[in-house]
Amino acid sequence: MKAILPLFIFIDACGWEIIKDDPFAAAFAPNRKRLESVFGYSSTCVPSILSGRWPDEHRNWSYFVFDPQNSPFKSLRAWRWLPKFITSRRRFRHRLSKFIKGRLNFRGYFDLYNIPFKFISLFDFTEKKNPLQAGGMNRGGNIFDFLETRGIPYHVSDPAKGESQNLNDLLGFIGSEWVDFAFVYWPELDGLLHRVGNQSLEIAPKLRLYEQRIEQLLAAAREHYAEIRLYVFSDHGMANCDELLDLKSKIEALPLRFGEDYAAVYDSTMARFWFFKKEAQEFITYCLKQIHQGRILPDSELQQLHCLFPDRYFGELIFLVKEGVLIVPSHMGERPIRAMHGYHPADRHSYAALLTNQIEIPADIRAIPDIYKLMTRDAMLAQNANARVSQAA
Ligand SMILES: [Zn+2]
């Protein structure tokens, strides 16, 4: 029997608005707190949780950037004349993404999404490593580096394995008392919410399923650990998309050439621009200012959000839409989806949640990167307590 198991369960998109009127996890994690998210997508929220740092420090922000010198996609240039009806097919892009991921040795999640083939060689993909592993950050360390440096045995979900396989793996490690720390990652709720929206009747059953799984983990852990320090948390919420914005057509109607006058990445809720000519900057800025569904984020605000990059690596101009507006078509998708995240962190559905069986949530745990403090604190607590138990034995 070991002394302590810190059990951190990350449920993607299980935002404050999703659970605030639901008794989710109340039976075993009654203490809950709303947490501020990080501006950006999971590509930045997850690394922020895992590292305890913000995007301007760890530089895991948006996936695609204009960077022809360093583009790993140069070999795809030869394919740029393939007709769009082939290259825009989801199945074609999915298979090709898998192929590229293997060829380029990308370790994390990779998808070509809807980046046009014609211009793919102008872009770089910024998450070549897997943030869910030690050494996986673009800059600095993460919780897994912390655990490995200190020799703390841990379990982390492998996204390639799926939720139930990962659950079984962890149950095995708990049974053998091998781990002093566990990090569980469940991405399925995010996918469901994107598909059905945040008001769907399908959400509650998913929450009940997650409760059953957590109960199962707790029951197993109680057999082998005297104390389980449980934290269930998310990275952001999910807003329904009720308004579509064809931003790309508006920009492409301007007398400018993509790749020569400017470049852009159209994410689902923001657009990021790079300018190679002064007129391009003027035209695009003027055009964006006429669009009432969104606004250009000033540097002062980006700085407040810890998303101001002085080298403008992720874009010289960031345009963000209002909550509920979806940029479509975008480089992330050709067709609309029911719900999205990646709006301003102060928008209602952006907030994340933390639920725990601990009596106190320290006051300095306010935003999702603060979860890192809980992880490091509890990992050391467990290491020391478990070492004492094994010495006594
Ligand atoms: Zn998502």
336-377 pLDDT tens trace: 999 999 999 999 999 999 999 999 999 999 999 999 999 999
pLDDT of residue 58: 96
Q: How far is the CA of 241 from the centre of ligand 1 (A)?
A: 13
pLDDT of residue 167: 96
Q: Between these two residues, 346 and 88, which has the higher pLDDT value?
A: 346
Tens-place pLDDT, residues 225-245: 999 999 999 999 999 999 999
Residue 101 reports pLDDT greater than 90: no
Tens-place pLDDT, residues 187-198: 999 999 999 999
Mean pLDDT lowest among 89-98, 288-297, 375-384? 89-98
User: What is the share, in percent, of the chain residues with pLDDT greater than 70?
Assistant: 96
Residue pair 315/40 in contact (Cβ under 8 Å)? The answer is no
pLDDT of residue 107: 65
Q: How far is the CA of 255 from the centre of ligand 1 (A)?
A: 34
Tens-place pLDDT, residues 113-150: 777 777 888 998 888 888 999 999 999 999 999 999 99
Q: How far is the CA of 61 from the centre of ligand 1 (A)?
A: 14
Q: Which residues contact 232 (CB under 8 A, 6 or more apart)?
A: 9, 11, 14, 25, 29, 214, 354, 355, 356
Q: How far is the CA of 267 from the centre of ligand 1 (A)?
A: 12
pLDDT of residue 230: 98
Other C-beta atoms lying within 10 Å of the C-beta of residue 286: 10
Q: How far is the CA of 190 from the centre of ligand 1 (A)?
A: 5
pLDDT of residue 291: 98
Q: pTM of the predicted model, to two decimals?
A: 0.93
Q: How far is the CA of 281 from the centre of ligand 1 (A)?
A: 31
pLDDT band at 89 (very low <50, low <70, confident <90, very high): confident
pLDDT band at 110 (very low <50, low <70, confident <90, very high): low
DSSP assignment, residue 298? Answer: P
Tens-place pLDDT, residues 350-361: 999 999 999 999
Give the H/E segment covering residue 99: helix 90-103
Q: How far is the CA of 62 from the centre of ligand 1 (A)?
A: 13
Residue 72 reports pLDDT greater than 90: no
Q: How far is the CA of 44 from the centre of ligand 1 (A)?
A: 12
| DSSP-derived 3-state class of residue 225 | strand
Give the H/E segment covering residue 77: none
User: What is the share, in percent, of the chain residues with pLDDT greater than 90?
Assistant: 80
**Per-position DSSP letters for 325-364, written without gaps between them:** EEE-S-SS-SS--SEE--S-TTSGGG-EEEEESSS---TT
| DSSP-derived 3-state class of residue 289 | helix
Q: How far is the CA of 42 from the centre of ligand 1 (A)?
A: 7
Mean pLDDT, all residues of the chain: 93
Q: How far is the CA of 244 from the centre of ligand 1 (A)?
A: 18
Q: How far is the CA of 266 from the centre of ligand 1 (A)?
A: 16
CB atoms within 5 A of ion ligand 1 belong to 190
Question: Per the structure block, which two tokens stand in for 74?
Answer: 């140069």
Residue 106 reports pLDDT greater than 90: no
Other C-beta atoms lying within 10 Å of the C-beta of residue 231: 23
Q: How far is the CA of 40 from the centre of ligand 1 (A)?
A: 11
- CA–CA distance, 259 with 265 (Å, rounded to integer): 11
